[in-house]
């Protein structure tokens, strides 16, 4: 069931990114190429990330490494490897990295919001025990409350917390990015990192299935803290070092993209003649 939600989330995010990329003047096949490369490679990264931090188990059970249907993928692993894939693609095709990340970032939040419902259906990635009254006080539907009843015990619906947090972030970032002279190129993506890492840090503290470094540090909380601090630092340094960096709404200003587009137009005209 979790795969169904992941597929749906990727489809929705793809169409959203595709529409935005056309408005930004990117070639039509750019987002298609990104989807074909980054999504499957990202899934592999999400699995390898999980295996890495559960290495003692998989060392004894190597056959389980490919048994992804038994669960065990980590969003951060997918984001890291998927992000590196996007970086490689931009360098290979002469596309400004900041521009493409700005286009993709809101879509990733939307995908995460939808994808978490797969955890709900599988009754996984939940928090610690709570009372039924606690869940009722959250004004949740009976369907959600009963799904959080696992073997007679009710649990924190952390999937829902993260899903709603991601959806709220998606809406806020969409609103902010359409404000004139507010976010510079690259800052839509940084806003995503800031938003998601903040929510994930606190939500991760409620979960019962966290990956750990030793017995004292949750991996996702540590990484969230690093990403939060790192994104603030990068944001500050970019504003200091590149005060004239174009705003997001100003579109593409990179000469390489313009040349690519001009080259394509010239080729199409010659073909028509």
Has residue 267 got a pLDDT over 50? no
Number of domains in the chain: 1
- Choose between 40 and 8: higher pLDDT: 40
Report the percent of the chain where pLDDT is more than 90: 65
The token pair that represents 11 in the structure block: 């489809």
Checking if the pLDDT of 257 tops 50, the result is no
DSSP code string of the chain: -HHHHHHHHHHHHHHHHHHHHHHTT--THHHHHHHHHHHHHHHHHHHHHHHHHTHHHHHH-GGGGG-GGG----HHHHHHHHHHHHHHHHHHHT--HHHHHHHHHHHHHHHHHHHHHHHHHTT-S-BSEE-HHHHHHTT--HHHHHHTEETTEEE--HHHHHHHHHHHHHHHHHHHHTSTTTSBTTHHHHHHHHHHHHHHHHHHTTBSS--EETTTEEHHHHHHHHHHHHHHHHHHHHHHH-TTPPBGGG----HHHHHHHHHHHHHHHHHH-
pLDDT recorded at residue 266: 52
Q: What is the pTM of this model?
A: 0.86
Percentage of the residues of the chain whose pLDDT score is greater than 70 = 85
Place of tokens 């000469």: 255
Mean pLDDT over all residues of the chain? Answer: 86
Q: What is the mean pLDDT of residues 43-67?
A: 93
Give the pLDDT score at 60. 94
Instruction: Give the residue numbers spanning the domain of 254.
Output: 2-272
User: What would the mean pLDDT of 241-260 be, rounded to a whole number?
Assistant: 64
CA–CA dist 100, 202 (Å, integer) = 29
For residues 58-76, average pLDDT: 89
The more confidently predicted of residues 268 and 128 is 128
- Which tens digits make up the pLDDT trace of 132-145? 999 999 999 999 99
Q: 220 with 226: CB under 8 angstroms? A: no
The contacts of residue 34 (CB under 8 Å, 6+ apart) are: 17, 86, 89, 100, 104
Bridge partner residues of 217 (DSSP): 213
Binding-site annotation, residues:
116
Q: Is residue 270's pLDDT more than 70?
A: no
Q: Name the residue with higher pLDDT: 6 or 194.
A: 194
Q: What is the pLDDT of residue 245?
A: 80
């Amino acid at each position: 069931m979790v795969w169904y939600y992941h597929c749906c989330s990727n489809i929705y995010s793809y169409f959203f990114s595709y529409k935005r990329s056309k408005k930004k003047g990117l070639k039509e096949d750019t987002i298609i190429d990104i989807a074909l490369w980054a999504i499957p490679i990202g899934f592999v990264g999400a699995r390898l990330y999980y295996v890495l931090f559960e290495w003692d188990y998989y060392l004894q059970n190597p056959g389980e490494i490919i048994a992804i249907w038994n669960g065990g993928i980590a969003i951060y692993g997918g984001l890291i490897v998927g992000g590196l894939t996007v970086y490689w693609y931009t360098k290979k095709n002469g596309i400004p990295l900041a521009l493409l990340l700005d286009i993709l970032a809101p879509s990733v939040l939307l995908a995460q919001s939808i994808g978490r419902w797969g955890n709900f259906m599988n009754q996984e990635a939940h928090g610690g025990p709570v009372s039924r009254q606690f869940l009722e006080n959250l004004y949740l539907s009976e369907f959600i409350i009963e799904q959080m009843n696992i073997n007679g015990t009710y649990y924190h619906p952390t999937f829902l917390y993260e899903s709603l947090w991601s959806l709220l972030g998606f809406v806020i970032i969409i609103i902010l990015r359409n404000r004139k002279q507010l976010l510079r190129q690259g800052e839509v993506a940084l806003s995503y990192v800031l938003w998601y890492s903040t929510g994930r840090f606190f939500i991760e503290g409620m979960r019962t299935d966290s990956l750990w470094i030793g017995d004292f540090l949750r991996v996702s909380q540590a990484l969230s803290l690093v990403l939060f601090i790192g994104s603030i630092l990068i944001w500050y340094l970019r504003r200091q070092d590149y005060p004239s960096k174009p705003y997001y709404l100003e579109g593409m200003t990179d000469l390489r993209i313009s040349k690519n587009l001009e080259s394509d137009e010239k080729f199409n005209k010659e073909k028509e003649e």
